[in-house]
Amino acid sequence: EVVLTQSPGTLSLSPGERATLSCRASQSVNTYLAWYHQKPGQAPRLLIYGASDRATGIPDRFSGSGSGTDFTLTISRLEPEDFGMFYCQQYGGSPRTFGQGTKVEVK
Amino acid sequence: QVQLQESGPGLVKPSETLSLTCTVSGASISSYHWSWIRQTPGKGLEWIGYIYNIDHSSNSGSTEYNPSLRSRATISIDTSKSQFSLQLASVTAADTAMYYCARDRASTRFDFWGQGTLVAVSS
């Protein structure tokens, strides 16, 4: 199965700062990659799919890039509601798998 | 707005079968694929399986599962109630998790999720 490795494990930033999260796949998944945001006590919420397409209702401060094995999620200016866990998920291989997550916390 | 709601026992005994139901509103259950996903502090998010190619007339669909579950999982559907279900047999403590149901966009991403239901396996 495709293993997704996210880095860093934790990102400590202040509101208004730029966040850059990485997801690396153990084998190529083309652009078949999604990103999710999860707040404590809530289900994950789809942010990005197809590596760079924003899901419905997702603000344009969220952007995704990459293909093959290396992917990036960028949050241009962190808003207070953006803190929490972020997960990548691939659908280029079977079974579909998730990364272990990056925690974005308030500095 | 699409909404999903999981329901089922919060406690299951070891070696027994875990049974959960997801009720869908705001979308035609016959028109989409539907998945079960679980989350644990140790293993993170794990896709369990999904049901697709749903036939309203026969109340059935095709299914695919994560091989890691070693054929213990079964997903079924009841289109008349707009529900789909998960059964996980021979559970152990390792199956203790938050279980989510989600709308599955054609074997790709999961665009709507239920709030999740916590299931503990303990005697």
pLDDT at B70 over 90: no
- B93, A29 contact by CB (below 8 A): no
Which tokens hold the place of B17?
């079968």
Tens digit of each residue's pLDDT (9 = 90 or more) over B79-102: 999 999 999 999 999 999 999 999
Q: Does A87 touch chain B (CB under 8 A)?
A: yes
Nearest chain A CA: its distance from B67 CA (Å): 8
- Give which of A72, A79, A86 is closest to A106, Cα–Cα: A79
Using CB atoms, pick whichever of B47, B67, B108 lies closest to residue A49: B108
- The mean pLDDT of B98-108, rounded to a whole number, is 95
Tens digit of each residue's pLDDT (9 = 90 or more) over A65-95: 999 999 999 999 999 999 999 999 999 999 9
Q: What is the pLDDT of residue B94?
A: 96
Q: Does A55 touch chain B (CB under 8 A)?
A: yes
pLDDT band at B117 (very low <50, low <70, confident <90, very high): very high
The chain A residue lying nearest B6, using CA atoms, is: A43
Residue to substitute from A5, A36, A37, A46, interface B, most B β-carbons within 10 A: A46
> Which amino acid belongs to residue A79?
E
- B47, B117 contact by CB (below 8 A): no
Q: What is the pLDDT of residue B2?
A: 97
Cis amide linkage into residue B67, ω under 30° from 0: no
Tens digit of each residue's pLDDT (9 = 90 or more) over B46-56: 999 999 999 98
Q: What is the pLDDT of residue B58?
A: 87
- B45, A87 contact by CB (below 8 A): yes
> Which residues, at least 6 apart from A57, have a Cβ–Cβ distance to it below 8 Å?
none
The chain B residue lying nearest A100, using CA atoms, is: B44
- A43, B100 contact by CB (below 8 A): yes
